[in-house]
Structure 1
Amino acid sequence: MSAGLVTDEVTMGRLYRIRRTVMQMLRDRGYLVVEHELATTRRDFLRKFGESFHREDLLINKYKKNDPSDQVSLSSAQFSTRSCPNTPPPPGQLHPLLPAALDRIRQAVLVLQQNLTPFAKSFLIELEPKIHLEVFQEAELLINIKEHVLVPEHQVLTNEEKKTLLERYTLKETQLPRIQITDPIARYYGLRRGQVVKIIRPSETAGRYVTYRYVV
């Protein structure tokens, strides 16, 4: 059986759930995900990809809603069986973990079965000036953490909204409560250091309770 080939029903069902979470995550980050992609059933998934397929066939490319002409905002999700080899690719060849359209992509999400090797981690760090890469394990995306009953609503502020907030309360961004960039919900939204997220919780007295967190 070739590497990455999926034929058993359990794995197919697992990849269907992961792909659904990825679609929801990209939508919540502001990417253009159409309704039928979010409503795809397991049967639709198998009909599209067949009874057997390669993880590498599950590539997703999306543009931001507010600027479809800006390719810098393109996000790609690649499902791979490889944790990354311990040697660099031959000269002139892309690393096997990366999307083929690296020259057109500035942001990518890699969904892997295994942990990255030390070499792979250092390789991705070296690429950071060219492309922002996020790495998720498949197990992290089997369910959408945003839909958990204990997770409040999160809204990522734009730079202008952040500026307005700080001016309104005469604050420096570092005076805000913090959220770690490694926090699961921060990773879900793809937050970057320096961003501010608005958190809305239900309140029995006021209807809702709003706080803000600064990403560190």
Structure 2
Amino acid sequence: MDDNNSFQTLTDYSLQVFQLCRLLWGPIETPKNVQLINQAYFEDQQRRHLLSNWLHQCILSQPQQEQWIMQNCEFLSRGLLNDCVKFAHDEGDLRLAALVHAASGSNTVRDILRHCAHEDIVDVYSKDFRRTIAILSGEFIVKGHNLVDQNRTTYWQMALALHLWFANSASDSVSTIVRDFESAYQEHYWLEPIAHHGNTKALDLRWKLLKLYTDDTYPIDNVFDVNSYTQNPFDYRL
């Protein structure tokens, strides 16, 4: 990687870190002339919404995974439900198009899919169709297997986004979502949130910031480890 690309990568990464810090600890604007019954709940839901947008932008900045480019799961994993419906329709898979369209706006359909995900009936479907059912239902782990990412190749921001969008309830806090994802990757269902340069076992600084926000016992010293964002131990630019 040349110096210009390296600088641009660090710049983009630094911007993501700044945006994450702002959404986690920055002030939340409250609506005027509105009496809030639960200020803390309102602020947490606003931060959840901001985190969702941040994850979506992180995912869009990543290169598409070649093996998923022509698969509906690529769109689902990026939160592009309408694109998924259109692609399935254009490919002539009307059953899948109808399924995604129905599930995107109906909790009843998603409840049915949760039941189907644990039934042997899903075994008759193709691997990609089973993956779609798992994502839409929010039941990623079935019978000890991750139906969404059997080969554990999904990067952590996408996996966390899938938890936020599909697995966790709409009322769950940021802390609950982070804890649920952490439990899943610690049980080896997802890849660990390793630093993006990949030549280390250090956890990603962005993940450490999420931990710092959601866990009062998390040591603040952990966020000062330069290995969390660079392979140069003397690079303290961030």
The alignment's TM-score, normalised by the length of structure 1, stands at 0.30
Instruction: Looking at secondary structure, tell me which structure has more strand per residue.
Output: 1
Instruction: Looking at secondary structure, tell me which structure has more helix per residue.
Output: 2
The alignment's TM-score, normalised by the length of structure 2, stands at 0.28
